[in-house]
Amino acid sequence: METDKKDKLIIALIIGIVIVLSHNFVSSQKSDDLVFENISSSLDDKKQTKLINNNDNKEKNEKATIKKIHISGEINKPGVYEINDDYRLEDLVNDAGGLTENADLNKINLALKLEDQMRIIIPNVNDKDNNENNMTSQLISPINQNDNKKVDINTADKSELMTLPNIGEKRADAIVEYRQKNKFNKIEDIKNVSGIGDKYFDAMKDMIVVN
């Protein structure tokens, strides 16, 4: 009888130890799972943050590389167009709806590689004042936004006038000759000069003043 009590006591003790060990094991497992979840969550957050930063940087880089060109004159859809790095004038002309029937193909270079901020005026075949030898420099002019100095068309010398878009030697002489008899009272008066119409005025209006 005494032996049975001892055996039962030993069995109960063993069962108690097993229960305690099982409880500790389960608690430890839950703790490990929680730590793993926290680590996984932290890694996911870092990956998500890195992905967002990469997307932001990609978007900033794309915005930084955007190039824009203004095309007008004998073109079907004049305006400002975004271009790729490898764009040629021919590509821009296609984007702008093609040339009009009055465009002078002999005075433009469709293979010309384009640069940011260019202003392009497609010449009219009937415009006899164009200097064919200087056509590229006259009709394609980058706009320098960092230079706030404007040209006073009443006082500028010939060389200064020739820094304006589409103003070659012949047109510069015409401006000087005109103002010797008629002072420019407003910038629009420059359209009274022979060879300077609305399209050429639009190209230079932001670069000229009268004093």
Q: What are phi and psi of 157, to 5 degrees?
A: -80, 180
Percent of the chain with pLDDT over 70: 63
Tell me the per-residue pLDDT of 126-158, one tens digit each, with 9 for 90 and over: 875 544 444 443 455 444 444 457 899 999 998
Which tokens go with 17? 């130890």
**Which pair of tokens denotes residue 20?**
């305690």
141 by DSSP, 3-state: which?
Answer: strand
Reported as a single tens digit per residue, the pLDDT across 39-65 is: 556 556 666 666 666 666 555 555 556
- Both tokens of residue 57? 């940087």
Domain 146-211 adopts which CATH fold?
DNA polymerase; domain 1 (1.10.150)
Structure tokens at 197: 């119409």
Give me the mean pLDDT over the 96-125 stretch.
Answer: 86
Cβ atoms 39, 32 nearer than 8 A: no
Identify the pLDDT of residue 102: 87
End-to-end CA distance of the chain: 128
Q: What percent of the chain has pLDDT over 90?
A: 18
pLDDT of residue 144: 44
| Interval 179-199: pLDDT, tens | 999 899 999 999 999 889 888
Inform me whether the pLDDT recorded for 10 exceeds 90: no
- Kindly state the helix (H) or strand (E) to which residue 122 belongs, with its residue range: strand 118-122
- Per the CB < 8 A criterion, the answer to whether 184 and 154 are in contact is yes
Q: Where are the alpha helices (DSSP H) in the chain?
A: 2-64, 89-95, 135-139, 158-161, 169-179, 198-204
Residue 169 pLDDT greater than 80, yes or no: yes
List Cα–Cα distances, 12 to 16, 20, 26, in angstroms: 6, 12, 21
By CB atoms closer than 10 A (0-12, 13-18, 19+), residue 95 is middle
Write the burial class of residue 3 (CB in 10 Å: 0-12 exposed, 13-18 middle, 19+ buried).
Answer: exposed
pLDDT value at 23 more than 80: no
In this predicted structure, what is the pLDDT of residue 135?
44
Q: Residue 187: its pLDDT value, please?
A: 94
- pLDDT confidence of residue 189: 94
164 Cα distance to chain centroid: 24
> What is the residue extent of each domain of the chain?
45-143, 146-211
